[in-house]
Amino acid sequence: MSKQRVGLYPGTFDPITNGHIDIIKRGLRLVDKLVIGVATNPSKNPMFTLEERVAMVDRETRPLAESSGVTFEVVQFDELLMHFAERVGASIIIRGLRAVADFEYEFQMTGMNYQINPSIETVFLMADPKYQTIASRLVKEVARYGGRIEAFVPDHVAKAVVARVAEQPIRGDFSGE
Ligand code: ADP
């Protein structure tokens, strides 16, 4: 019996963007089972609750996983990434790499994670160039100032962001509120 290859794609997904979805499509080609780990990440002061983020990720990506025949799960987590990876039986952690800006952080994190558990390999994937510059943080910022975000996120997500922005007054990410 050959061993099932399990991949874990962790992130905050606040909210899921077309960049994340592109990485997930690529990840589905590499593994037998893909777990999307949605991090609590209260320090990032998310726009959407953990439950909302999990539901959005699930809605936008489950059909892709089903049509690819890969076993698929969207799971929330609030623990050390490597402990979570061990718990779900992942042998691969998938991360997306955008511009050089991501590199320093990812480089450090991968190095430390490797020391925690050298049997789990981190794999970096690049999105299609048309999605490479998309970042959840900027999507929220554009929406807060009334810009169109339909090119960056799925329609359902765009509607949710616009609705949330309408409920919340404009406030800077660094206002400390
Ligand atoms: P985190 O809080 O871990 O940065 P994110 O939800 O912002 O979580 O991103 C999850 C992963 O997806 C990270 O590896 C990030 O670099 C990657 N990612 C996000 N947007 C893109 C994109 N447009 N292209 C490629 N990778 C991306």
Ligand 1 pocket check for 77: Cβ under 6 Å: no
Distance 146 CA to ligand 1 centre (A): 23
Average pLDDT over residues 140-159: 97
Domain boundaries, the chain: 6-130
What DSSP letter does each residue of 30-58 carry, written as one string? T-SEEEEEEE--GGG--SS-HHHHHHHHH
Q: What is the dihedral of CA 108, 114, 116, 120, to 10 degrees?
A: 130
Please state the pTM of the whole predicted model: 0.92
Is any atom of ligand 1 closer than 6 Å to the C-beta of 46?
A: no
The pLDDT score that the predictor gives to residue 168 is: 81
Cα 17 to middle of ligand 1, angstroms: 9
Quick check: CB of 149 below 6 Å from ligand 1?
Answer: no
Domain 6-130 fold: Rossmann fold (3.40.50)
Per-residue pLDDT tens for 90-126?
A: 999 999 998 787 888 899 999 999 999 999 999 999 9
